[in-house]
Amino acid sequence: MSPITAPPPALAVRQAMPEWLPVLLGLLVMYLPTFYDLLNGGVWASEEQAHGPIILALSLWLIYRQWPAVMALGEHRGAVAGWLTLAVGLALYAIGRSQQILLAEIGSFIWVLVAVLLVKRGGTALRMLWFPFFFMLFMVPLPGALVDMLTMPMKMAVSYVTEHLLYLAGYPIARNGVMLQIGQYQLLVANACAGLQTLLTLEALGLFYLNVVRHTSPFRNITLALLIVPISFTANVIRVMVLTLVTYYFGDAVGQGFLHGFAGMVLFVTALLLILGVDSLLQLAVRKFKAPGAVSPGVPQ
């Protein structure tokens, strides 16, 4: 007998349309204005929060990828927890939308999705899709006071490491707080270069990579997860160093254009390469650990 396999995601979505189309239309009516405002001059149009739509798209793709398994669970209507969660989500949406509190308005989107899933498919479906909902948290803007409080130490650390590395390389560089002086140019290490949101974006990139590759080795998963923080910090340092050197060799005008253009790509490519490199080293370590040990001298085989 051939094994029963789940339908591909595209087919599963088409089969679910009659049941889920009213829910989808309701979500679009509620949140299309929110996402339009975020993209049209809102926080997602800024350099610090430009990762928001990317996080949303990746989260929806993760849900889409696991949708056949969710649909296979069958209906599970009337979950009390789901209706209570929906009430909280709608209240957050009403408060956030009316009072322009982005933390509540965008956060309500996650609450409402979780509520719909609980009502329609129950807790088992939520456990299957816990990571996409957790991943969406990275698109929610944090309170400005918290961001300012945590960003300054990070910018100081990135500036300090950048100054010392370039000084050791022989460049005429000095630092005053988060201000770098190289040659006749001064550069301010801004929030977009080494701020909390940048670090969180790189954290999201690392967690997304872990979820997609799904290594079977607990050591490899845990170690890579712990190393995401230093990897993100290193990528920030490399970005600031590249920006500093571009300004030093080509002038302030080129450096400022580079900051708002290619520098962001440098950051993410660097972080991705570091993650892949560390993961490859961990793979070698796991293989070496699992390899049969060498036979001690004098011990018969």
pLDDT category of residue 82 using cuts at 50, 70 and 90: confident
Output the pLDDT for position 170.
92
pLDDT average, residue stretch 63-76: 81
Residue pointed to by tokens 């990528």:
235
Active-site residue (options: 97, 121, 193, 220): 193
Q: Return the higher-pLDDT residue of 272 and 262.
A: 272
pLDDT average, residue stretch 215-222: 77
Q: What is the pLDDT of residues 190-209, one digit of tens each?
A: 655 555 666 777 778 888 88
Specify which residues 174 forms β-bridges with: 181
Specify which residues 188 forms β-bridges with: 179
Residue 77 a catalytic site member: no
Q: Return the higher-pLDDT residue of 112 and 282.
A: 112
pLDDT average, residue stretch 160-169: 92
Distance CA 126, CA 67 (A): 11
Collect all residues with Cβ–Cβ distance below 8 Å to 270 and sequence separation of at least 6.
234, 235, 238, 239
pLDDT category of residue 22 using cuts at 50, 70 and 90: confident
Residue 193 a catalytic site member: yes
Of 63-67, 120-124, 139-143, 155-159, least confident by mean pLDDT is 139-143
pLDDT category of residue 301 using cuts at 50, 70 and 90: very low
pLDDT category of residue 260 using cuts at 50, 70 and 90: low
Collect all residues with Cβ–Cβ distance below 8 Å to 244 and sequence separation of at least 6.
162, 166, 173, 180, 182, 187, 255
pLDDT average, residue stretch 281-291: 79
Other CB atoms within 10 A of residue 3 CB: 4
Output the pLDDT for position 300.
44
Backbone phi, then psi, for 179, in 5-degree steps? -100, 120
Distance CA 205, CA 8 (A): 26
Q: Is 3 helix (H, G, I), strand (E, B) or coil?
A: coil
pTM, two decimal places: 0.71
For 187, the enclosing helix (H) or strand (E) is strand 185-188
pLDDT category of residue 4 using cuts at 50, 70 and 90: very low
Output the pLDDT for position 296.
43
Other CB atoms within 10 A of residue 56 CB: 19
- Of all residues in the chain, the percent with pLDDT exceeding 90 is 22
Of 10-14, 94-98, 181-185, least confident by mean pLDDT is 10-14
Output the pLDDT for position 29.
92
pLDDT average, residue stretch 92-107: 91
Distance CA 65, CA 58 (A): 10
